[in-house]
Amino acid sequence: MKILSIDPLAVPDVKVITFGRFRDHRGYFTETCRKSDLFGPSATDFLAGLEFLQCNESFSRPGVVRGLHFQWNPHMGKLVRTIAGRMIDLALDIRKGSPTHGKIVACDMPASADDDCGRWIWVPAGFAHGNFFSEPTTIEYFCTGEYSPGCEAGIRPTAEDIDWSLCDAALKAEFDKAAADGSGMSEKDRAGLTLAAWGADDRSKEFIHGRC
């Protein structure tokens, strides 16, 4: 795996891992994941002690908004990439005591066969995760925990008490347009909690800064 760079976002625990592709006139080859590079003694020390237990693939149509999802018992970190199309990934800090608690970051992650590199975004446990899409898009994500349906919750992406101040204004405008009428969201996501409602829930103690 040819890791080119690792770049933190405005909430530094969320990171983008850029990896190279080997191109010629026929197309390209790339290693999207190699254990010794991601979990070895390297710049990816934030993945130390973790392993991926589940891999998911999702297809979304233009205007779809997903999230913001999280789970505990077990906690779940996600390594996410766009296979084809354009995903704007979202990560909301729900860790109590975190200096960025309640703040959300967005990362524009288009993908094309003509690109010289690919990118993963790492969303660790303690963040509510979601995304939205401006074109037909396929994504893949590796999870550090297996799905636990009795231990999951979600914050509504349009909740008024989410702090978007760290987001690029153009991406926030795209989100507002996609989410305007709610038609691109599932019924479950439209019924998600506000940040304040989740914070008042006793289960929110599962997410403490420095512990998850």
The catalytic residue positions are: 69, 141
Find the radius of gyration of the CA atoms of the chain: 17
Structural tokens at position 57: 């693939």
Parallel, antiparallel, or unpaired for β 117-123 and 15-20?
A: antiparallel
**Rounded CA separation 125/78 (Å):** 8
**Rounded CA separation 165/44 (Å):** 27
Structural tokens at position 122: 């790492």
What are the DSSP E strand ranges found in 21-136?
A: 22-24, 27-29, 54-60, 65-71, 78-93, 104-111, 117-123, 127-133
**Rounded CA separation 196/159 (Å):** 9
Specify the amino acid at residue 1: M
User: Which helix (H) or strand (E) covers residue 83, if one does?
Assistant: strand 78-93
**Rounded CA separation 93/12 (Å):** 11
